[in-house]
Amino acid sequence: MTSNSAVLAAVVGIGQTKYQTKRGDVSIAGLVREAAVNALQDADLTFDDIDAVVIGKAPDMFEGVVMPECYLTDALGCNGKPMFRVHTAGSVGGSTALVAASHVQSGTFKRVLTVTYEKQSESNAMWALSSPQPFSVHLNAGAGGYFAPIIREYMRRSNAPYDAGIKVAVKDRLHGARNPLAHLHLPDITMKEVEESMMLWDPIRFLEACPSSDGACAMVIVSEDVAEDAPKPPAWIRGCAMRSEPTMYAGREEVSPQAGRDCAADVYKQAGVTDPRKDFDCAEVYVPFSWYEPMWLENLGFAPEGEGWKLTMEGATSLDEGGDIPWNCSGGVLSSNPIGASGMIRFAEAARQVRGDAGGHQVDGAKLALGHAYGGGAQFFSMWVVGAEKA
């Protein structure tokens, strides 16, 4: 196969907006610029230092702006430079980070700014996801309606207790309460409260689903020599992987998709990870509906098949319970979901952890972290491994 001749790259700047239901005080351009400026300040760089910009977001139909990179170039200081736009469904935030990294890892650029966003208050994701396509089956129920039967199948196979999802919903909101940028701050949330919240798509209750958020996330990714001089500790990119499979095919494993398993195996190999639960200090994993934590724990090899829920129930993934492998210390997608940015937030939060810069949700001494995103019918995966050390 291929030899990895990549230039070593690192994250040296991270900027996010506060995530909330509606950012009526800024335009879309204002939103992305806020995240970009925050990332540049974190890196002690300016727009003039940037060689290229890579942006990503979920479908253009959400906000109704076709190919928004044309409109956003001014806000992102990109005039006269290369501007790139990625779109890989829900995994786009992660894929965008990977494409931005490849701009550096290929030796083509030294300093790249990457930004993802969604302004859900100016859009209607449920409508955009439900509009009929001329040549495919009409899906009326949005993302939750698509994933609920798959979750049911997981529950049936694994014999997981009915409240494993409830536990994740509480755990991630308690994590989110530590993160001032998180959309939802629910420090007093209880299992009972989640259980009594409205059933949306059985078995997904209201409080087991992600919110709709406005927000943007940005990173500055640079080459090794530039990273050496960065004012703050870099997060070294130790592995990058993407995988895709069709939405439907005969014999498709929908609960634990092959593409996710292959993607994890690829990125672990690059980073020298053999036992993810032991080797990683924490992980930021795309969990938009609570049950996806135990499902991805298995898909990503943190737990044997059928036993992901045990880690959840034991508190292994909880920062508050002192778990050995905290997942989504930032609060995760369950606490903030600007769709197009949600994948990049996972990647950026993994980087914050290994930079020792995660504030109130820092995992002590975190050295190696996984960032994960998925999209479509759980068919597009992107992952990276970041570390405090180069190798």
Picking from 350, 388, 339, 391, the residue whose alpha carbon sits closest to that of residue 372 is: 350
d(CA 379, CA 68): 25
Q: Is 391 in the site for other proteins (CB under 8 A)?
A: no
Which residue from 11, 14, 89, 264 is in contact with other proteins, where contact means CB under 8 A? 89
Residues that bind other proteins (rule: CB under 8 A) add up to a total of 73
Question: Shortest Cβ distance from residue 54 to other proteins (Å)?
Answer: 10
Map the footprint of other proteins across residues 97-116, applying CB under 8 A: 99, 102-103, 105-108
Q: Is 198 in the site for other proteins (CB under 8 A)?
A: no
Please identify which residue in the block is written with the tokens 């530590």: 178
> What are the φ and ψ backbone dihedral angles of 385, each rounded to 5 degrees?
-115, 125
Helix (H) or strand (E) holding 277: helix 276-279
Which residue from 33, 173, 243, 355 is in contact with other proteins, where contact means CB under 8 A? 243
Map the footprint of other proteins across residues 178-197, applying CB under 8 A: none
Residue closer to other proteins by CB (options 74, 229) is: 74
DSSP per-residue string spanning 94-145 = HHHHHHHHHHHHTTS-SEEEEEEEEEGGGS-HHHHHHS--TTS----SHHHH
Letters for 254-283 (x = contact with other proteins by CB under 8 A, - = none) are ---xxx--xx--------------------
Residue closer to other proteins by CB (options 86, 287) is: 86
Q: Is 61 in the site for other proteins (CB under 8 A)?
A: yes
Residue closer to other proteins by CB (options 3, 159) is: 3
Give, in order, the Cα–Cα distances in Å from 66 to each of 57, 218, 227, 367. 11, 21, 35, 40
Q: Which token pair is 179?
A: 């993160």
Residue closer to other proteins by CB (options 63, 298) is: 63
Residue closer to other proteins by CB (options 107, 360) is: 107
Map the footprint of other proteins across residues 304-343, applying CB under 8 A: none
Q: Is 214 in the site for other proteins (CB under 8 A)?
A: no
Q: Which token pair is 111?
A: 């300093």
Do the Cβ atoms of 336 and 182 come closer than 8 Å? Answer: yes
Question: Shortest Cβ distance from residue 219 to other proteins (Å)?
Answer: 17
Picking from 383, 338, 386, 333, the residue whose alpha carbon sits closest to that of residue 56 is: 338
d(CA 6, CA 343): 23
Which residue from 67, 140, 275, 278 is in contact with other proteins, where contact means CB under 8 A? 67
Other CB atoms closer than 10 Å to residue 314's CB: what's the count? 13
Q: Which token pair is 253?
A: 């494993």
Map the footprint of other proteins across residues 119-158, applying CB under 8 A: 122, 128-129, 131-136
Which residue from 86, 207, 219, 221 is in contact with other proteins, where contact means CB under 8 A? 86
Residue closer to other proteins by CB (options 80, 322) is: 80
Question: Shortest Cβ distance from residue 51 to other proteins (Å)?
Answer: 11
Question: Shortest Cβ distance from residue 177 to other proteins (Å)?
Answer: 32
d(CA 181, CA 158): 35
Residue 48 has what DSSP assignment? G
Q: Is 81 in the site for other proteins (CB under 8 A)?
A: yes
